[in-house]
Structure 1
């Protein structure tokens, strides 16, 4: 895997790290900015996580596992989508890392998603993550 197959996005949010963390982990808030997705987990390391909803008229249920929790700084999950067309096998899971860092003017929230198929897939995922983070910034800044 090359560096180019890692999707990356970040934004600075006018909120505290604790407020950003809540936006990342509260299912009601997540649903507001994450394409209407319902996230289900208890956020404990080793616990399953599911993302369900409807995309372009098709129901989906993506899944993974909570891998690391360092509230309010770092959250790492695995992720697999059956819509990818790939087999549900460990090599087809992606690792999604959320970093929350206090900075001048607010809090920087960044996402990295590895194991994208190629540069084009990574660029597409980066664009999606940027939309999600921009949505998160809008929701948290209104609070």
Structure 2
């Protein structure tokens, strides 16, 4: 079966534990994900939701794997765009590993977002969104401020 895949790799000056926490703490997520609320208890099989600031559900799914501080896998489906919702579920994998060859406090974050569908509009959309979100995350962890302002 053909897949659509987006992969993003970045190096962040932090620890694996702090990066894990930044990916799984709702109040921290809101700071770099443009005010979005991420709701889950982060346990395998648990529900997961990404909610707009006005209360609408953007994406919903479940936690497939949670292995702190190394790996988080979430299956989700878009909820607000009917065309993307019709494409079905995607799987997003976050892999965190120390990268001492890069620097003493360097952590490698790899995000792989896939869908079992060729030419997915959803994967096309996240390929524009993930770089913005992850740039904000990196900046927030390293400087205490995000790089990109929240869209109005």
Q: CA RMSD, aligned part only?
A: 2.4
In 2: Cα distance, 1:119 partner to 1:93 partner = 11
In 1: Cα distance, 2:125 partner to 2:75 partner = 19
Q: What do residues 3-45 of structure 1 show as CA deviations (whole Å, max 9, x unaligned)?
A: 5x10111211010111111110111111111121101111111
**Unpaired segments ≥5 residues, structure 2:** 145-152
What is the correspondence of 1:1-143 to structure 2 with a 5 Å cutoff? 1-2=1-2, 5-54=4-53, 60-61=56-57, 62-86=59-83, 92-103=88-99, 104-105=102-103, 106-115=106-115, 118=119, 122-142=123-143
Q: How far does residue 101 in structure 1 lie from its aligned partner after superposition? A: 1.2
In 2: Cα distance, 1:13 partner to 1:47 partner = 28
TM-score by length of 1: 0.84
Runs of at least 4 residues off by over 3 Å: 86-89, 119-124
TM-score by length of 2: 0.80
Task: Provide the residue aligned with 2:147 in structure 1.
Answer: none
In 1: Cα distance, 2:42 partner to 2:74 partner = 10
Change (3 A) 1:139 1:127: same
